[in-house]
Amino acid sequence: MKEGQRRVGKKLGFWLLPLLFALLFVIIGSVSLGSAQLSFYMVWKIILSHVPFMPEMEKDWSKAAEVIVWNIRMPRILLAVLVGAALAVAGVAYQGVLRNPLADPYILGVSSGASLGAACFMMFGQGIAFFGQWTLPLIAFICGMGTLFVVYRLAYIAGKVQMETLLLSGVVVQAFLGAGLSLVMSMSGEKMQRIFYWLMGSLTLSDWSSGVVVAPYVIVGGIIIFLFAGELNLLAFGEQKAHHLGMNVERTRLMILIAASLTAGAAVSVSGVIGFVGLIVPHIMRTIVGSDHRVLLPVSAVAGAILLIAADTIARTVMEPQELPIGVITAFLGAPFFGYLLRKRRQRFF
Amino acid sequence: MIQATGVSLQIGQREILSNISFQVRRGETLGIIGPNGSGKSSLIKVVSRLLTPSTGSVSVDGKPLASYSSKMLARKMAVVSQEGMAPLPITVEEAVAMGRYPYHGFFRRNTAQDAEVIQHALARTGLEVVACKLLDQLSGGERQRVAIACAMAQEPEVLLLDEPTTYLDIGYQVGILNLVREWRKETGGTAVLVLHDLNLAAQYCDRLILMEGGTMTHNGTIEEIMQAQLLSEVYGIKPLIVTHPNLQIPQILLERSS
């Protein structure tokens, strides 16, 4: 099957290259847009001046412009890339493992759990920051994973998990966690502003260090999920078939769920609850590239990054100078899409 | 090849299987027959380790089932279920290639040998012409063929087939069973078939097990099981046993109530 592998590679390249170009295009557009009126030309001169080994340039821009472009816009865009890719990949993984087309980190309550964990940690937890700045994503991951188990356990009735029950238990758990989050918020006093962002999701708080902290978690989680792409393909044929083909279904499922929750939890720890990205992106990509996870996963990661940059650009420019939470934009897109999927119920892939 | 000793299966309060013991010899084809709900499929699930027996044990090739790793077991035995491969947008060739999964490590690589096995499985099942078609464009009968090809690509020593012909027309039923027969002749493999059609069971199996209410009531040759008296008790029918004019095998004729 060398030939088959080459075919997968070709197919991946065929879709991935245009998407990477689109990503570059969106990044260029996003970095040039903003409430501070900076010329396109100047923005790019500033960025290029930070690229190593570039010829020395004459600095004909102000210190403020430099700060806006390099310390505010760039880290924010890179964070959007990480968070968008993380949510989309986690969505693909959840949908594949749970064999449920409506699964995504937000709907399964993973995001809520992770955000409550992150909020509690920021409020009370400074004393237990054993791993320094790396602790926050870890806490978010553990709480997100715990929430997933509670939701799944609730929906597990008579040896089966029905799609409707899973959605409902997700809603119930989210309602509970939402209340918890509100409680933490009202106790937080001056930190309220910061925690408020976790409710609707925002990339406002991004700087280079938040990207650096999250990147390893997202990358490691994403690579683990990608290594399980073949297993995800097998699982699409049903757990029994996967078992008969020699897969240890229980263990594989657990590994993928942990990796997906790690990815999603880390994203949530810096961005808060950004809904529906993990739902919209995998679905659209699946209709375009098919359901081979070896292609679907990387393609979804790039598409997720594109969607999140676009949504964030809208969020920070549409009501200038005021900024909208990015979750507002993705929910405006995602909720109708969710309704559409619910009606259509096309379970062709599962 | 397969040895089941005192296998019982209890799910909740219900006893699905009770105290079943049998043996399948290497190279033979064993048929499992019996009315609906008699535990045939559950027995296959126990033998393929999808369910763990409450008491008793199963061993394959002299080693207990539990001692096999998932992949080692999949190299020993392949299972084909009723429905065939699910109608996903994946090509026939890719689906058959999944049969090589138990031979791959975590950082898998398909080798030239894999390609050969896959091509051979496609050729043997007559699927070469549709190799590039998507599964969701195929009929149920063709998808069952794909399932057989996928199982053959596992290069197993035992093939377990759980009512593989249930949803198929006569042409496909005979086609699937012929494939299994040819596979056996070629590889000397062992097959265990759950079948509803007694005539096909009599033609394709060397030996039959008759199940009733979760117990194995009879285990014998075709001639021993295909008895009018016995079948009438088990199925509540009035059968007429005749001998197939060409194959000299007992066959059953049904008679409607007048």
Test B73 with A246 for CB contact under 8 angstroms.
Answer: yes
Whether the CB of B132 is below 8 Å from some CB of chain A: the reply is no
Q: Is the pLDDT of residue A127 over 90?
A: no
B92 interaction partners in chain A (CB closer than 8 Å) = none
Q: Is A246 in Cβ contact with B70 (below 8 Å)?
A: yes
CB contact under 8 A, B118 and A3: no
pLDDT at residue B105, as a whole number: 80
- Contact flag B70-A248 (C-beta cutoff 8 Å): yes
Distance CA B87, CA B84 (A): 9
For chain A, the 3-state helix, strand and coil shares in percent, each to the nearest 5, are: 75, 0, 20
Q: Residue A61 domain-assigned?
A: no
Residue A51 has pLDDT above 90, yes or no: no
B203 in contact with A, Cβ within 8 Å: no
pTM of the model: 0.88
From residue A12, alpha-carbon distances to A231, A297, B48, B245 in Å are 18, 10, 36, 58
Q: What is the pLDDT of residue A66?
A: 84
| pLDDT confidence tier of residue B106, bands split at 50, 70 and 90 | confident
Beta strands in B82-239 (DSSP E): 158-162, 190-194, 207-212, 215-221
Interface contact B101-A238, CB threshold 8 A: no
Domain region containing A235: 82-344
pLDDT of A54: 72
How many domains is chain A built from? 1
B96-109 burial string, b = 16+ CB within 10 Å, else e?
Answer: bbbbbbbbeeeeee
- The reported pLDDT for the residue numbered A220 is 96
For residue A23, is it within any domain? no
CA distances from A41 to A48, A60, A70, A121 (A): 11, 12, 14, 42
| Spatial separation of the C-alpha atoms in residues A314 and A325, rounded to whole Å | 10
Q: Model confidence over B17-26: pLDDT tens digits?
A: 999 999 999 9
Q: How many CB atoms lie within 10 A of CB A271?
A: 32
For position B82, what pLDDT does the model report? 86
Q: Which residue has the tokens 């399980």?
A: A228
68-97 in B: which are within 8 Å (CB) of A? 69-75, 78-79, 81, 85-90, 93-95, 97
Cis peptide bond N-terminal to A282, omega within 30: no
Instruction: Choose from A98-107, A158-167, A194-203, B67-76 the range with maximum mean pLDDT.
Output: B67-76
Give B254 to chain A, closest Cα distance, Å: 36
Quick check: is A313 in a domain? Answer: yes
**What is the share, in percent, of chain B residues with pLDDT greater than 90?**
80
A56 domain-assigned: no
Task: Return the structure tokens found at A20.
Answer: 């990477």
DSSP secondary-structure letter at B250?
A: E
- A125 domain-assigned: yes
Are residues A290 and B90, on separate chains, in Cβ contact within 8 Å? yes
pLDDT at residue A191 in the model: 67
Chain A's closest residue to B78, CA to CA, is: A244
- To the nearest whole Å, the CA of A234 is away from the closest chain B CA by 7
What is the pLDDT confidence band of residue B71, given thresholds at 50, 70 and 90?
very high
Is residue A349 very low, low, confident or very high in pLDDT (cuts 50, 70, 90)? very low
Express each pLDDT in A253-283 by its tens digit: 889 999 999 999 999 888 888 888 999 999 9
CA distances from residue B167 to A342, B140, B149 in whole angstroms, order as listed = 30, 8, 18
- Percentage of chain A beyond pLDDT 90 is 35
Judged by CB atoms closer than 8 Å, whether chains meet at A237 and B81 is answered as no
Please indicate, yes or no, if residue A59 is contained in any of the structural domains. no
Q: Is B101 on the interface with A (CB under 8 A)?
A: yes
Provide the shortest C-alpha distance from residue A159 to chain B (in Å). Answer: 11
A208-220 pLDDT, tens digit per residue, is: 888 888 999 999 9
Q: Which of residues 173-192 of B touch A (CB under 8 A)?
A: none
Q: What is the pLDDT of residue A1?
A: 44
Most confident stretch, A70-74, A153-157, B213-217: B213-217
Among residues of chain A, what percentage have pLDDT more than 70? Answer: 92
Q: Nearest residue on chain A to B97, judged by CA atoms?
A: A1
User: What's the gap in Å between the CA of B231 and the closest CA on chain A?
Assistant: 32
Question: Can you list the domains of chain B with their CATH numbers?
Answer: 2-253 (3.40.50.300)
A328 band by pLDDT with thresholds 50, 70 and 90: confident
pLDDT above 60: residue B219: yes
Residue A335: inside a domain, yes or no? yes
DSSP secondary structure code for residue B54 in this structure: S
Q: Closest residue of A to B74, CA-based? A: A246
Q: Which of A149-158, A289-298, B217-226 has the lowest mean pLDDT?
A: A149-158
Is residue A170 in some structural domain?
yes
Inter-chain contacts counted by CB atoms under 8 A, chains A and B? 81
Question: Residue A113 has what pLDDT?
Answer: 92
Residue B110 to residue A4, Cβ atoms within 8 A: yes
pLDDT of residue A91: 95
A268: domain CATH number? 1.10.3470.10
Query: Residue B99 — very low, low, confident or very high, per pLDDT cuts 50/70/90?
Result: very high
